[in-house]
Amino acid sequence: MKDERIGWPAYFMMQAAMLASRSTCTRLHVGAVIVKDGRIIASGYNGSVTGTPHCTEVGDLLIDGHCIRAVHAEQNALMQLAKMGIAAEGAEIYVTDFPCVHCTKFLLQAGIKKINYLRNYNNDEFAMSLIKAKNVALKQVPLTQGDVQLVDFEKYVMEGN
């Protein structure tokens, strides 16, 4: 009998995509999950510092073309691990968009051993060289229509809301 379930890489990437729907960034919605030994150990999405106004409420705070109001999804996921006292060493990350150079440095410094991403996004040359120098695996994980169709969303939608 053929296994009709979604594969693990697509499953984790779909979790990251779902998290991106919580983003309060007006420019790009990004989600990330950190996985260790086949289990999600942390997650994050991009948005303002907890308890402060969101870009969706007050607008972007742009300096040199970058919004400094937002904390990146990867950063939020790593900080969640830090708050819980869990090491990222040896884990992998699934992120909807290729990490910026700063997030790449944080991920490598934290001990992430594999970066899985859905979409290319301003892939930085220096970030790529760091990934290669640290011998960190890098893989683009596309989501297909077939992956999405394996999830029967209609059975989870309640009638009459």
What pairing do the DSSP bridges indicate for beta strands 47-48 and 70-71? antiparallel
Six-digit token string for 29: 């919605």
**Cα 43 to Cα 84: distance, rounded to the nearest angstrom:** 12
User: Would residue 74 show up in a list of annotated catalytic residues for this protein?
Assistant: yes
**Cα 157 to Cα 125: distance, rounded to the nearest angstrom:** 43
From the list 57, 74, 89, 125, the catalytic residue is 74
Catalytically active residues, by annotation? 74
